[in-house]
Amino acid sequence: MTRGLDNLPQPPAQASPTPAARRGAVIDVGTNSVKLLVADVCGGEVTPVTEASHQTRLGEGLYRLHLLQPKAIARTVEAVADFAQQAKQLGATAVRVYATSAAREADNGEELISAVKEATGLMLEIISAETEAEWAFQGVLSQRGFSGQDLLLLDLGGGSAQWIVGSGGHARFQASYPLGCVRWLEKMHLSDPPSPKEKEECHKRLQTFLQAAVCPAVQPHFTAACKWVAVGGTATILGRMELGMTDFDRERLDSLRLPAARLLYWRDYLWAMPLNQRRQVPGLPANRADVILMGTAIFVAVMEVFGFKELCLSTRGPRFGALLDMLRKGDESGAEVFF
């Protein structure tokens, strides 16, 4: 089990919240990873206390069988239990646990809910794609510099991608598409390293999917003023590789802009390498060296189809939005209150 935010050192956790702040925790059960956010919230400002990620590959085998596999469930429950204990020790007064694409699609999602409840006492929510998109949008808006901007937000996960267009705190379009990194990696059956022909075929299939399924829905809400913002593991990893980052520096990542030429560079550079060499790339966690191929391919395809000149990164996404929603609604949010 991978510990830490993709093996990168984190800032030391604060022992207790500041007097005016409320401390809560969110555990995000994704297709590829389980992620923890413990943060203080005061006046709409979210100040992370600690963050971590365990790669559990909940979606392993899902797209063939439509079932969550027992070993994947066990790994995931272990991670949730570990994070719930950490959250309690850090003084979080409430914790929300939610699951996204893999649990939504599985025919046996109730097994995951029951296993989490039995192991931790916590009630896991399997959230809708619409809720996931809304939380991602609100999470990004908690970042300074984006609150007044017209945004096209892409929350790229392992099983799906949430697309949100909006400005001024209001989303005028949001939808989820089966465009996740793990899903498409399993679909493409790539060689190691992928051949130039495989890279071209993948790019064509992604473009075809975007032009047929995504563009007709998104473009009526899209304007030339829209900034393209991405959240999720792939976006963060791209930023870390670009900066050669050996630790986690949110301020540097959140201020990073990746020009189109750099997206193309990283796609081509990584696709030319075998897996064992990708595992040595600075800023790329070894356990993400397989799925990063599809992540970069998806970003390049989106860039070309929509004509974007640069990609803006954000390390704030659904977890931040879920935390704000939980603390705003209090007991009605479905969160478990510790004390």
Q: What is the CATH number of the domain that holds 264?
A: 3.30.420.150
**Rounded Cα distance, 95 and 62, in Å:** 27
Q: Tell me: do 102 and 183 sit in the same domain.
A: no
Please give the chain's pLDDT, 339 residues, in tens: 433 345 444 445 555 665 578 999 999 999 999 999 999 998 778 999 999 999 999 999 998 899 999 999 999 999 999 999 999 999 999 999 999 999 999 999 999 999 999 999 999 999 999 999 999 999 998 887 787 789 999 999 999 999 999 988 889 999 999 999 999 999 999 999 999 999 999 999 999 999 999 999 999 998 888 999 999 999 999 999 999 998 889 999 998 999 999 999 999 999 999 999 999 999 999 999 999 999 999 999 999 999 999 999 999 999 999 999 998 876 445 555 443
Domain that holds residue 303: 143-313
pTM of the model: 0.87
In a domain, 147, yes or no: yes
The count of domains in the chain is 2
Q: Tell me: do 269 and 161 sit in the same domain.
A: yes
What lies within 8 Å, CB to CB, of 49 at 6+ separation is: 13, 14, 17, 23, 38, 39, 40, 90
Q: Tell me: do 99 and 152 sit in the same domain.
A: no
In a domain, 6, yes or no: no
CA-wise closest residue to 62 among 204, 178, 225: 178
Q: Tell me: do 111 and 206 sit in the same domain.
A: no
Q: Tell me: do 166 and 285 sit in the same domain.
A: yes
Q: Which residue in this structure is represented by tokens 């006492």? A: 121
Q: Tell me: do 197 and 284 sit in the same domain.
A: yes
In a domain, 1, yes or no: no
User: Residue 214: how many CB atoms within 10 A of its CB?
Assistant: 19
Q: Tell me: do 151 and 278 sit in the same domain.
A: yes
Residue 256 to residues 24, 50, 68, Cα–Cα distance (Å): 28, 22, 36
**Rounded Cα distance, 176 and 128, in Å:** 9
Q: Tell me: do 323 and 309 sit in the same domain.
A: no
Q: Tell me: do 176 and 119 sit in the same domain.
A: no
Q: Tell me: do 147 and 96 sit in the same domain.
A: no
**Rounded Cα distance, 24 and 157, in Å:** 23
Q: Tell me: do 291 and 333 sit in the same domain.
A: no
Residue 221: DSSP 8-state: G
Looking up residue 116, the CATH number of its domain turns out to be 3.30.420.40
Q: Tell me: do 221 and 325 sit in the same domain.
A: no
The vertex-237 CA angle with 233 and 239, nearest 5°, equals 120
CA-wise closest residue to 298 among 194, 216, 175, 178: 178
